[in-house]
Chain A
Amino acid sequence: MKAFLILEDGTVFEGTHIGAVREIISEIVFNTSMAGYLEVLTDPSYAGQAVCMTYPLIGNYGICRDDMESERPWPDGFIVRELSRIPSNFRSDITIQQFLEENGVPGIAGIDTRALTRILREKGTMNGMITTDENYDLDAVLPRLRAYTTGKVVEKVTCREKYRIEPVASLEQNGPLSGAARFDREAYERGERESRPALVKELNGKGLKVALLDLGAKKNIARSLAERGCEVTVYPALTKAEEILADGPDGIMLSNGPGDPKECTSVIEEIRKLYETDIPIFAICLGHQLMALAAGADTHKMKYGHRGGNHPVKDLATGRVYISSQNHGYVVDTDRLDPAVAVPAFVNVNDGTNEGLSYTGKNIFTVQFHPESCPGPQDSRYLFDRFIHMMRRETSSCAEGRD
């Protein structure tokens, strides 16, 4: 079946329909990761957007449900050059086509995704429609596209009720320490999924209670803490600060999430209260932006954002550069940042935008990129250890993350 991608500027791409049969209007963004399409699809930060993968061959290894970063895919639509006709991976459960259909995500394949990317790069992120209606009326469609906003998507993606994630009891639970795992087909068929080689070498978070404010959290944030021994309680985005504080956490984690940070007015209110406490706080992505807004800084929308797994960020404390996983369309404005409130801790080597803040006189540090990776490089996972050090009130900064 034919499908069309119509952009706000009137550009129309004709391709083949994939996924569920549904017409959608969404904000069109592109992601440059070469692997990890499932993690991208299940990242709640993509709520309200349709994602174009710049890598042309998608679906090659099917869908390995274990790798989902939330319970369902969030993008409104999925745009690819080519969808693999068969999946090939020992863990693959279903094909990507089945997955998109199952979850009602429509998409388009067979278009020139590079041309689309170039348009978005030159003109900035814009809205678009994916439709199978060959008789679309451009004059009627374009005003609808321009009118679209992602809206208050955080409320859509956050969990409904708070829940607890048990910490791992022993290192073995995290999987083997090296790549020497063996695949056990029978155990796999029984549903016992083999663990990947562990990246964590010690349970340094044992006994620590972490409150994770779910603004659209990827699973690996909680997992990264739990596998270090932390006991994680996940709170819905609109939880009052008092409720979180009442549970007596050793540290608070603000997650990633979708949408315009400035629309999260009530969440910002609550974060301001958390800011006032002396509980260590670590925030990622949207959490980082909301903390900045709560502390009086400003954010703005980028032309086309950072979405991919190859962005270099420099840790200003050490001068070291790490390759990071990124997914954001807004950024904290450092021009008007009061150094008495916070100073830049990380900077993007490519375009000099802010990638992290260290809050002056506070036990708070926040990053724009994704140390939890999934998808993408695991280089900055050491930041979770740094957070654990903060919670333990240890002076050592755990600057170097490399094993």
Chain B
Amino acid sequence: MSSKAVSKLASALQNFGHRLIDQFWRLGSASRLFGYTLASSGESLRRPFLVIREIYFTGVLSLIIILVSAFFVGMVLALQGYNTLQKYGSSEAIGVLVALSLVRELGPVVTALLFAGRAGTAITAEIGLMKATEQLSAMEMMAVSPIARVIAPRFWGGVISMPLLASLFSMVGILGGYLVAVPLIGVDGGAFWSQMQASVDFREDVMNGFIKSCVFGVACTMIALFEGYDAPPTAEGVSRATTRTVVNSSLAVLGLDFVMTSFMIS
């Protein structure tokens, strides 16, 4: 092997190792930020308006996109499900299909993905820009902790909004499915609701979906906060951090979903 190839291999290995170590460093630094955020939560929860303002920005302003997509997802589920179920002569089971798929999976997961795109990016860009314009350093100079004043309220705003949005997503999706299945296709309305109630279990399905959405809320909000806090204070740095927020949140949501589902199904 020529010395050129060896040095190429070595530099590739070096590059890989550098990236790996960098990822571990970021993970540790994110955990540290998470710890600080929890530690200074008490301070920011004592001023509830800070959190309420963040719920407004992350929750209320995400309502439109969440509700409209939920409505269409529910309608599509009903159309697709009816198409297949009707071949087996059990089109009344469409209510079960729509409700279970929304409450167990689609509600929490799609809400989290939309949440990462709609609210997560906003949080990252805002904090990244605050850092780039040295607002965070200015706060520190005034002996105001930026974590208690900026990070923790956004964290709690996201964590509170996410389960509410996911519940709304599931409910509106089921209503959309009902609209397609019952008035449009002509499935019996009584059978739609009664079969749904017979097979959707409160603890097994509704509560597990709720727990999932809480975990996704923590994951998405924390990733968005960390990416913003960690962003290089340049225009390019903020733009890259925003992209990473969407990519990492989506991967984290789908990965966590698999892990939690495998715990819950057993």
Please say whether chains A and B are actual partners in one complex. Answer: no
